[in-house]
Amino acid sequence: MKTPIQGFSKLSKEEKIKWIADNYTDNSDTTIQILKKYWNQDNELQKLHDEFIENTISNYYLPFGIAPNFLINDTLYAIPMAIEESSVVAAASKAAKFWLDKGGFKTRVLGTQKIGQVHFIFKGPSEKLQEFIDAINPILVSDCKSITQNMEKRGGGITSIELRDRTHKLDNYYQLHCKFETLDAMGANFINSCLEQFSSTLKREALTYTSFNEGEQRIEVVMSILSNYVPECLVRAEVSCPINELEAEQSVSPEEFAKKMVRAVDIANVEPYRAVTHNKGIMNGIDAVVLATGNDFRAVEAGIHAYAAKDGSYKSLTRASLEDGIFKFWIEVPLALGTVGGLTSLHPLVNLALEILQKPSARELMQIVAVAGLAQNFAAVRSLVTTGIQEGHMKMHLLNILNQMRASEDEKKTLVAYFKKNAATHNAVVEALQNLRNKL
């Protein structure tokens, strides 16, 4: 029976490791060896990583790869991606190459507004509450001056504060629905600081508002927090070309290929079971770049999936069309990203990733990330409607299988060559390796 530990956070890193190894693993020596193997040999760099989170005992590595040849608004990019799933970087690179000589990707930012809310309870007439919010709106803004002055100097700040009546959803429930412009910062700390000041001002001003009756003067603030749903922080990316320029796989004609692509996207738009997997493929590309650039991929995921369900059912994030002989494929997706603050100024690989991307602004990074998602989806759907997804995926997964079976370098070389011409299912790889070893 395990017993709780008191004061774990106060232990040294060595003590934490020894405790976890002794109490939760089968072989403490092996555990300690594995954890220390992933420490960075540069002590200062390791100390930096240790301080990113609490109770650090080691580092967890993900591959950091590059998808080259992305032509975006006539600028050529090599896109860094951090991801563990095989075939993602290869698929993105293949899509980039496909569109390189067809004008590349075109993008534009449709909005950059971010949202925060003060959730509160008010037991009184909504008309009277609206009059109160209108009266104190300038005070809400002025009370935040110490927080917003630097952001305002750069062109950002609070853009609107409105009262939302949600009493039809929950008794006596209202919101201050607030919009912000945070420029190149993701802005979470900025927004949350403003919201907490709004809460203080709201409660203080209610106590002295003469139009309230005694029972109405106490506004109960439940919480103040930003929202990761940012439907007005939106970016569009698209590709298009004449149908006769589309190259498909095998013997599919450009016309039939274009029709298959549109049908596949249409299915994802009406069938939630398909839409979830369809959009997961989009997130393979988006998350990989978000993670490589030190942004919050969990926030991005949550906001994007909410956006996919904004019309009442979960739908595809991409669209495709055939009009007047032109094939068009596009995505509109909400992305709240930053290129300053947080890990962007601390993590050396994040710094390098942003340098590789030519030091983009937050708006430019939104466009690059949207392109990565669109490219990933194009590559996936293209495979699905032609050769099937497994042929390319399993060949990329081949080395993982061989490594699991502890294949030697010579065995890997032989089998990689063999499976260039043969289907690489898991059983086929196991059988081929056994046959190879039996011949030796």
Domain match, 141 and 221 both:
yes
Average pLDDT for 358-380: 98
**394 pLDDT more than 80:** no
Domain match, 319 and 354 both:
yes
Average pLDDT for 371-378: 98
Domain match, 34 and 124 both:
no
Q: Does some domain include residue 78? A: yes
% of the chain exceeding 90 in pLDDT: 82
Catalytic positions: 85, 280, 296, 393
Q: Does some domain include residue 58? A: no
HEC profile for the chain? CCCCCCCHHHCCHHHHHHHHHHHHCCCHHHHHHHHHHCCCCCHHHHHHHHCCCCCCCCCCCCCEEEEEEEEECCEEEEEEEECCCCCHHHHHHHHHHHHHCCCCEEEEECCCCEEEEEEEECCCCHHHHHHHHHHHHHHHHHCCHHHHHHHHHCCCEEEEEEEEECCCCCCCEEEEEEEEECCCECCHHHHHHHHHHHHHHHHHHHHCCCCCCHHHCCCEEEEEEEECCCCCCEEEEEEEEEHHHCCCCCCCCHHHHHHHHHHHHHHHHHCHHHHHHHHHHHHHHHHHHHHHCCCCHHHHHHHHHHHHCCCCCCCCCEEEEEECCEEEEEEEEECCCCCECHHHHCCHHHHHHHHHCCCCCHHHHHHHHHHHHHHHHHHHHHHHCCCCHHHHHHHHHHHHHHHHCCCCHHHHHHHHHHCCCCCCCHHHHHHHHHHHHHHC
Q: What is the pLDDT of residue 101?
A: 96
pLDDT in tens, 62-90: 999 999 999 999 999 999 999 999 889 99
Least confident window among 143-152, 361-370, 393-402, 417-426: 393-402
Q: Does some domain include residue 20? A: yes
Domain match, 270 and 154 both:
no
Contact by Cβ (8 Å): 137, 161: yes
Q: Does some domain include residue 325? A: yes
Domain match, 420 and 350 both:
no
Domain match, 334 and 266 both:
yes
% of the chain exceeding 70 in pLDDT: 97
Q: Does some domain include residue 60? A: no
Average pLDDT for 95-116: 97
Average pLDDT for 356-369: 98
Domain match, 207 and 186 both:
yes
CATH number at residue 189: 3.30.70.420
**299 pLDDT more than 70:** yes
Q: What is the pLDDT of residue 411?
A: 80
Angle, nearest 10°, between helix axes 145-153 and 188-207?
Answer: 140
Give the burial class of 25: count Cβ atoms within 10 A of its Cβ; 0-12 exposed, 13-18 middle, 19 or more buried: middle
Q: Which of 227, 254, 275 is the last residue of a domain?
A: 227
pLDDT: is 6 or 402 the higher one? 6
Average pLDDT for 298-303: 98
Q: Does some domain include residue 397? A: yes
**420 pLDDT more than 80:** no
Q: Does some domain include residue 260? A: yes
Q: Which of 183, 206, 227 is the last residue of a domain?
A: 227
Q: Which amino acid is at 347?
A: H
Domain match, 198 and 293 both:
no
**389 pLDDT more than 70:** no
Domain, as residue range, for 253 = 66-111+238-387
Domain match, 247 and 106 both:
yes
Is the pTM for the entire model greater than 0.85?
A: yes
Question: How many other CB atoms are found less than 10 A from the CB of residue 361?
Answer: 15
Contact by Cβ (8 Å): 293, 344: yes
Domain count, the chain: 4
Average pLDDT for 137-156: 97
pLDDT in tens, 149-175: 999 999 999 999 999 999 999 999 999
Average pLDDT for 279-287: 98
C-alpha span between 279 and 316 (Å, rounded): 6
Domain match, 353 and 258 both:
yes
Q: What is the pLDDT of residue 240?
A: 98
Mean pLDDT over each residue of the chain, to the nearest integer: 93
Split at pLDDT 50, 70, 90, the class of 382 is very high
Domain match, 144 and 190 both:
yes
Q: Which of 387, 409, 424 is the last residue of a domain?
A: 387
C-alpha span between 426 and 410 (Å, rounded): 19
Q: Does some domain include residue 317? A: yes
**102 pLDDT more than 70:** yes
pLDDT in tens, 235-256: 999 999 999 999 766 678 999 9
Domain match, 267 and 280 both:
yes
